[in-house]
Structure 1
């Protein structure tokens, strides 16, 4: 059937209008990216959609997707964003003291549970194993689905790093629920951001700040920097550009939260970009086949992710396992030092 000219024009206009709104509609629908960290395997069963958790007050407006292509003069743009004054840098000793003094007035300290985790793929780490460390914890994202946080804590999750954001427009749909329930269970928790190399550092920092509450009792925010084969961004930036973008992101978070961000990374990315860099920042190192001293020679670290195949009551499927470097007293002192 032939259409008259006027109806045809109206139909074309409606079709174009629908296309122009698709990006914002997708974002409002809570679509998440295909970026994953470490060795988490996506389960075959459906994972929660982005309708969980409590809505953010005053943040219901649609977020426009930023252009993800190459940015002209990007290095100059990133450098210009670093003009604000930064807090005084903490010395390396304050990040992970080897023998910190016991606090004379430590205040209320949370109970530390011994770990009861199992591992689907146990590794022989040699003389110094994760079990030699007193304080264990986990990191989680939407792929762990609905977590029984109270049970997870009794299994040895004394701290938890919770996936919050990636790039400049993706929010983990379980973040709000996990953030709230972890605190209710008495677990010290912090939020992490998966960094995209095809997005500007400033917009990624703004997105994280927009979605992660400023909680004085939270652990420092985490920037997750690594390579990812599933990413649509195939650019390999120069070492200098990587360091510049990281610094812009971390400076902005430190100004907002008053805490020096933690750097999470993996061996290959570290070898290419981070060897000898950021000595005044706490590191969280992924090393699931050997002790960190083997994969990251001469690097001080605060957290060690030693497994991506952990098993625990309170969680269906696998979960990442971590340890804090130090004694129980070291942990209490370090946590107290992060209060803002």
Structure 2
């Protein structure tokens, strides 16, 4: 069984649809200069609806330290918040990806940190299979919860119509919340 969620950025409204969704990932930053101007209101929408919240950084070439620190400087984290590294820029190396995730894990202990990338990046660019605390895979294959990869995954972004929609590989929202707060270690599947 899987649960549904969405991800939002400044392209979406501050008041987005939440019914039927257990979680949301919200874009906070990109590179070292951009901050989503809607993210605080988007977080309030999620929290008011009782959704598990995650936040992501869209990485650009440059310093992994500066980008990790910039991302973390924008957020006051709450228990159970999930952090994500959005790896879509071909100018960002595999070692940068690994180093950013490890830095965020060290600087934000107690918070799960996941890797977001598409199937092509995972199969053809990734050389370490390091995804932090879990893999968030994007593949629009028309089969929610069945990405074409062998590696265990936690989240599958399966469409961008009408908004980026995902399934989480968790029994229910309680299991996701338990995983995100470290109370249940084997809660997905």
Q: Does 1:217 align with 2:70?
A: no
Change (3 A) 1:137 1:209: same
What is the DSSP-based 3-state SS (H/G/I as helix, E as strand, rest coil) of the residue aligned with 1:300?
coil
**Contact 2:137-2:147 within 8 A present in 1 as well:** no
Backbone CA RMSD of aligned residues: 2.2
Assess, with a 3 A threshold, how the Cα gap between structure 1 residues 327 and 251 changes in structure 2: closer, same or farther. Answer: same
In structure 1, the residue matched to 2:122 is: 270
Q: Indicate whether 1:145 and 2:13 are aligned.
A: yes
TM-score for the superposition, normalised by structure 1: 0.49
Structure with bigger helix share is 1
How many Å apart are 1:282 and its aligned residue?
0.3
Residue 46 of structure 2 corresponds to residue 204 of structure 1: no
In structure 2, how many angstroms separate the alpha carbons of the residues matched to 1:252 and 1:280? 10
TM-score computed with the length of structure 2 as normaliser: 0.85
The alignment of Structure 1 onto Structure 2 pairs a total of residues equal to: 180
Q: Quote how far apart the aligned CAs of 1:305 are.
A: 0.6
Q: Which runs of 5+ in 1 are unaligned?
A: 1-132, 228-234, 310-317
Aligned to 1:295: 148
1:107-147 superposed Cα distances (whole Å, 9 cap, x missing partner): xxxxxxxxxxxxxxxxxxxxxxxxxx441111011111232
Q: 2:28 aligns with which of 146, 161, 164?
A: 164
Using the alignment, how far apart are the partners of 1:236 and 1:264 within structure 2?
16
Greater relative contact order, per chain length (Cα 8 Å cut-off, separation 6+): 1
Decide which structure has the larger Cα Rg and report it.
1
1:249 match: 100
CA distance in 2, matches of 1:289, 1:323: 13
- Output the CA distance in 2 between the equivalents of 1:255 and 1:138: 27
Identify if the C-alpha distance between structure 1 residues 170 and 290 changes in structure 2 by more than 3 Å, giving closer, same or farther: same
Alignment check: 8 A CA contact 1:139 1:321 kept: yes
Deviations along 1:40-88, one digit per CA (max 9) or x if unpaired, are xxxxxxxxxxxxxxxxxxxxxxxxxxxxxxxxxxxxxxxxxxxxxxxxx
Contact kept? 1:250, 1:260, Cα under 8 Å: no
Specify which structure has the higher proportion of strand: 2
TM-aligned CA deviation for residue 335 of structure 1? 2.0
